[in-house]
Amino acid sequence: ELGPYRHFMQKEIHEQPRAIGDTVEGILDAGGFDAALFGKDAAQVLNDVESVQILACGTSYYAGLTARYWIEELAGLPCAVDIASEYRYRSVVANPKQLIVTISQSGETLDTMEALKYAKAQGQAASDESRTLSICNVPESAIPRASRLVFYTRAGAEIGVASTKAFTTQLVALFALAVALGKLRGRVDDAREAALLDDLRHLPGSVQHALNLEPQVASWAEKFAPRQHALFLGRGTHYPIALEGALKLKEISYIHAEGYPAGELKHGPLALVDTQMPVVVIAPNDALLEKVKSNIQEVRARGGEMFVFADADSSFSESDGVHVIRTPRHVGILSPIVHAIPVQLLAYHVALARGTDVDKPRNLAKSVTVE
């Protein structure tokens, strides 16, 4: 079943061009970013939505954090993203016109399910009229069954405990949701939609290109393996990818890692930086690149060793203490999906170097059906 791979996680990382391609194909087959992707009466449900509330746990929560940038930009809607176990115990302010979006690979995560029930009980009408949408990888699981609208990602069964292909296909689904909402709200016209569809069509190829970087990423692993801590930095849509990179690393290699928005460095975490702290930076050529570069200077000045994922256009050069891997040429709005790949590969190869149980990290379960 593993084929040429050593672990399910590695296999699932490499399946991503296929998993993303299948998920994209479903969108193309439906003729584009139509509300109908999310269910029969979706246009009616999504039409007068006033805001979006995303609920999820772990890696699925980071997919939600990424989606917020797209929903604000493409749909012009306010979007809140909450960790399900926090939301469900808070006095939330109800709005019946808020779209509740849950994201769950398994569809069985207890906190996400309970947060969905809580959201419905607060502001939503009877459940057959609720504005609830679930993005899920397992058909007929509990969370999609409790939701009015559903999008099934086509990642296929994910066996490794660490989520990889489920994450990137969730991102594709959330991107489609942002564009569909943008169309309904008259913010995405036909020309823009065609351009965004084109971006999506090229995505599996860019992801494959990122996978081809595996030998280079693996060559960094030995530098991380003996370390106790690592910092991951990004800005904008790449900030949630920094969070995801840190989670993957801590989860499977047991190295303590933190993800930070690069602009927050000087508000605290810069105090941690010394020669023993490897710092991973996700720095493709986007609108925030110059800001990221000045953040990098701050780290270098404190002796931190930098590991930069930069694309062909972000004009970084290797120097003493600065290692650079070139990711595919900037792929625009879908860039966070492409940059999820190298951080997954990094975590995987560091875990291999440390000899941990990659597919079954200690203390963790694939499906968290308890509180």
Is residue 144 involved in binding ligand F6R (CB under 6 A)? Answer: no
Q: Rounded CA gap, 44 and 248, in Å?
A: 38
Tokens of 163: 């989520």
Is residue 251 involved in binding ligand F6R (CB under 6 A)? Answer: yes
Q: Applying CB under 6 A, which part among 58-66, 183-191, 195-203, 279-287 lies near ligand F6R?
A: 58-66
| Among positions 16, 60, 327, 335, the unique one binding ligand F6R when judged by CB under 6 A | 60
Residue 15 or 251 having the CB closest to ligand F6R: 251
Is residue 104 involved in binding ligand F6R (CB under 6 A)? Answer: yes
Please give the single-letter amino acid code of residue 259. G
For 357-368, give one letter per residue: b (16+ CB within 10 A) or e.
Answer: ebbbbeeeeeeb
| Among positions 10, 85, 98, 106, the unique one binding ligand F6R when judged by CB under 6 A | 106
Closest alpha carbon to 284 in 252, 331, 351: 331
Is residue 109 involved in binding ligand F6R (CB under 6 A)? Answer: yes
Residue 164 or 314 having the CB closest to ligand F6R: 164
Is residue 286 involved in binding ligand F6R (CB under 6 A)? Answer: no
Q: Applying CB under 6 A, which part among 51-59, 70-78, 336-344, 351-359 lies near ligand F6R?
A: 51-59
Q: Applying CB under 6 A, which part among 2-10, 52-60, 212-220, 267-275 lies near ligand F6R?
A: 52-60
Is residue 134 involved in binding ligand F6R (CB under 6 A)? Answer: no
Residue pair 159/359 in contact by the 8 Å Cβ criterion: yes
What element of type H or E holds 84?
helix 84-87
Is residue 208 involved in binding ligand F6R (CB under 6 A)? Answer: no
Task: For the segment 151-190, give every residue that binds ligand F6R (CB under 6 A).
Answer: 162-163
Q: Rounded CA gap, 28 and 13, in Å?
A: 23
Residue position matching structure tokens 């000087």: 266
Is residue 57 involved in binding ligand F6R (CB under 6 A)? Answer: yes
The single residue of 117, 291, 293, 366 carrying the catalytic annotation is 366
Is residue 368 involved in binding ligand F6R (CB under 6 A)? Answer: yes
Known active-site residue 366: yes
Please give the single-letter amino acid code of residue 77. L
Residue pair 235/293 in contact by the 8 Å Cβ criterion: no
Is residue 58 involved in binding ligand F6R (CB under 6 A)? Answer: yes
| Among positions 23, 59, 208, 237, the unique one binding ligand F6R when judged by CB under 6 A | 59
Secondary structure, 3-state, 231-297: EEEECHHHHHHHHHHHHHHHHHHCCEEEEEEHHHHHHCHHHHCCCCCEEEEECCCCCCHHHHHHHHH
Residue 161 or 273 having the CB closest to ligand F6R: 161
> Going by C-beta distance under 8 Å and a sequence separation of 6 or more, which residues neighbour residue 224?
230, 249, 253, 255, 278, 346, 350, 353
Residue 84 or 325 having the CB closest to ligand F6R: 84
What is the DSSP secondary structure assignment for residue 94, as one 8-state letter?
A: P
| Among positions 66, 85, 98, 105, the unique one binding ligand F6R when judged by CB under 6 A | 105
Task: For the segment 5-24, give every residue that binds ligand F6R (CB under 6 A).
Answer: none
Q: Residue number with the shortest CB distance to ligand F6R?
A: 58
Number of residues that bind ligand F6R (CB under 6 A): 14
Residue pair 113/143 in contact by the 8 Å Cβ criterion: yes
What element of type H or E holds 111?
helix 110-123
Q: Which residues are catalytic?
A: 366
Q: Which residues bind ligand F6R (CB under 6 A)?
A: 57-60, 104-106, 109, 112, 162-163, 247, 251, 368
